[in-house]
Structure 1
Amino acid sequence: MSDNHPSEDSGLQESFLSHLFELRDRVIKAGLAIIIVFVCLVYWAPDIFHLFAQPLLKALPAGGKMIVTDVTGSFFVPMKVTMLVAFLVALPVVMYQLWAFIAPGLYQHERKLIVPLVVSSYSLFIFGMSFAYFLVFPTVFEFMASYNAPLGAEMSTDIDNYLSFAMTTFLAFGITFEVPVVVVVLVRMGVVSLAKLREIRPYVIVGAFVISAVVTPPDVLSQLLLAVPMTLLYELGLLIARFYVPKPGDDDSADADADANANANANNPGA
């Protein structure tokens, strides 16, 4: 009696290695895209940082400046900001490489959902960062600066500390604005029903204020500027998810059969 286990094991190993090599190639392509954009922008790194720090610079009193407490900070901080901008510019390429890697393992109806999700996720993340830059930063910095005059304190912020604060805030608001996408995906994939998401609305509101208290500066204004949009975006997600509720006929069996037939035809071209 013949034993097919060695051939099966070797086939699985080859399949795993092929996926690993493909992942490596996708990561290299995504990394090259970021590096190319960074190289194109690095000449303007000081200007990019000046634009990045503009909300704080406007809030400083007359003659106020940012300071550098680290010997290499004046060089590396603008480089980090430029790398962040390069990543955001190249993010569609990164997302495409990720999509191209996982697409073969998805059903047909899932592939149709990927492109709208990628576009909406990227757009909402950029919109969240823009919301933080154009509204949250000026409001919070002016609010904080108003407390320095009565104290007789001079508001001078180290550029490295400002970078850490801005990165944390950008990340918090970028992720927050992904709430509608998360809600739609949960409903469309049948993980949670739309009725259940509506039922837990009070807990989501409380959770939004708890999260905003953790990730924002310790003042009520900045917490409200994160918690209120998070709550409204959750409601927007519930509104949009109504159009993506899976119907009784929406199952994976048809897609699975179609994919199996496609694979069979590909493996037997002469059939």
Structure 2
Amino acid sequence: MMATENRQSFLEHLDVLRAAIVKIALVTIGFGMVAFFFKEQLFSVVLAPKSDGFITYRLFDRIAAWSGGLSEPFSVRLINTGLAQQFIIHMKTALCAGVLCASPYILYQLFRFVSPALYENERRYVTRMVGGGYVMFGLGVLISYFLIFPLTFRFLGTYQVSGEVDNLITLDSYISMLVMMCLAMGLVFEIPMLSWLFAKLGFLSADFMRRYRKHAIVIILVVTAIITPTSDIFTLSLVALPMWVLYEVSILIVKRTVTHK
């Protein structure tokens, strides 16, 4: 009798999970379809960093003019090499936009599914972890979109070994690099939240992080080399620097967490 009740309870949980997954899929597809039909608006955002009129470039141009320097205008034209490539990229980009727009609802459904199994204090920690992690991930994506990717693209897109060699950058290469760098930086910005969680669980201390700071820097460089889509020093430096800063910030967070534990 007990086994039957447990089995029924398990099946009921599966039904709840299935319903949550269906809702998540429908909302994600819905946002993706909206993004697909608003093609001009979608790609005006996606392709903005390739133009020298992008806000980041204009800001650096003003800084250069204020300091007495001159910045050269640049222009990079993207090409397409596959018959169906543009349509496929359009679909993939719209789906990514759908996932991004639906992400708050996805987190809500997942939390709603697991929350009945949590105690009140556990729900509080999970809420902080999920909310803080979401904010930090979004911050990482924004920093990548507005700072790291534009500077990387401008450097690599205009770099030439000779004036006789033109850069022909494919749309697929551009989109892939943009998505990978935004995703990588979003994950990198989870370092403080993970440090806070490990400190709460008693697995991490500020003294430990200070003691192994040199080792952490080596690990940061190795991870940066893995997650970045290119292997040039410029891009590696742009990604490694925020990771190191986040590590130092995490030391302060862990110290404060352990003190007020």
* Residue of 236, 240, 249 corresponding to 2:253: 240
Distance change (3 Å), C-alpha of 1:22 and 1:49: same
* Residue of 29, 35, 41 corresponding to 2:35: 41
Q: Which runs of 5+ in 2 are unaligned?
A: 58-72
1:30 to 2:24 alignment: yes
* Residue of 238, 241, 253 corresponding to 1:228: 241
3-state SS in 1 of match to 2:166: coil
1:123 to 2:135 alignment: yes
State the AA in 2 paired with 1:47.
Answer: Q
Q: Which runs of 5+ in 1 are unaligned?
A: 1-6, 251-271
Residue in 1 that maps onto 2:50:
56
Deviations 1:228-265 (A, max 9, x none): 11111122222223343387xx8xxxxxxxxxxxxxxx
CA contact (8 A) 1:125 1:177 kept: yes
* Residue of 87, 93, 97 corresponding to 2:109: 97
Q: TM-score w.r.t. structure 1 length?
A: 0.81
Deviation at 1:57, TM superposition (A): 4.1
User: What does residue range 80-229 of structure 1 map to in structure 2 within 5 Å?
Assistant: 80-148=92-160, 150-216=162-228, 217-229=230-242
3-state SS in 1 of match to 2:78: coil
CA contact (8 A) 1:189 1:246 kept: no
Alpha-carbon distance between aligned partners in 1 of 2:124 and 2:112, rounded to the nearest angstrom: 13
CA contact (8 A) 1:140 1:221 kept: yes
Q: Would you say how many aligned residue pairs link Structure 1 and Structure 2?
A: 241
State the AA in 1 paired with 2:44.
Answer: H
Alpha-carbon distance between aligned partners in 1 of 2:203 and 2:117, rounded to the nearest angstrom: 19
State the AA in 2 paired with 1:124.
Answer: M
3-state SS in 2 of match to 1:69: coil
Identity %: 29
Distance change (3 Å), C-alpha of 1:246 and 1:91: farther
3-state SS in 2 of match to 1:208: helix
Deviation at 1:117, TM superposition (A): 1.8
1:18 to 2:12 alignment: yes
Residue in 1 that maps onto 2:69:
none
Alpha-carbon distance between aligned partners in 2 of 1:182 and 1:227, rounded to the nearest angstrom: 18
Alpha-carbon distance between aligned partners in 2 of 1:97 and 1:194, rounded to the nearest angstrom: 34
CA contact (8 A) 1:187 1:246 kept: no
Deviations 1:92-113 (A, max 9, x none): 1101111111112222211112
Deviation at 1:193, TM superposition (A): 3.6
3-state SS in 2 of match to 1:150: coil
Deviation at 1:90, TM superposition (A): 1.1
Alpha-carbon distance between aligned partners in 1 of 2:119 and 2:217, rounded to the nearest angstrom: 34
Alpha-carbon distance between aligned partners in 1 of 2:28 and 2:256, rounded to the nearest angstrom: 36
Deviations 1:6-62 (A, max 9, x none): x22212211211111111111111122212222332221233123212223449954
Alpha-carbon distance between aligned partners in 2 of 1:156 and 1:227, rounded to the nearest angstrom: 28
Distance change (3 Å), C-alpha of 1:204 and 1:36: same
State the AA in 2 paired with 1:235.
Answer: E
Alpha-carbon distance between aligned partners in 2 of 1:31 and 1:167, rounded to the nearest angstrom: 21
State the AA in 2 paired with 1:245.
Answer: V
Alpha-carbon distance between aligned partners in 1 of 2:114 and 2:185, rounded to the nearest angstrom: 27
Residue in 2 that maps onto 1:4:
none
Deviation at 1:223, TM superposition (A): 0.7
Deviation at 1:158, TM superposition (A): 1.4
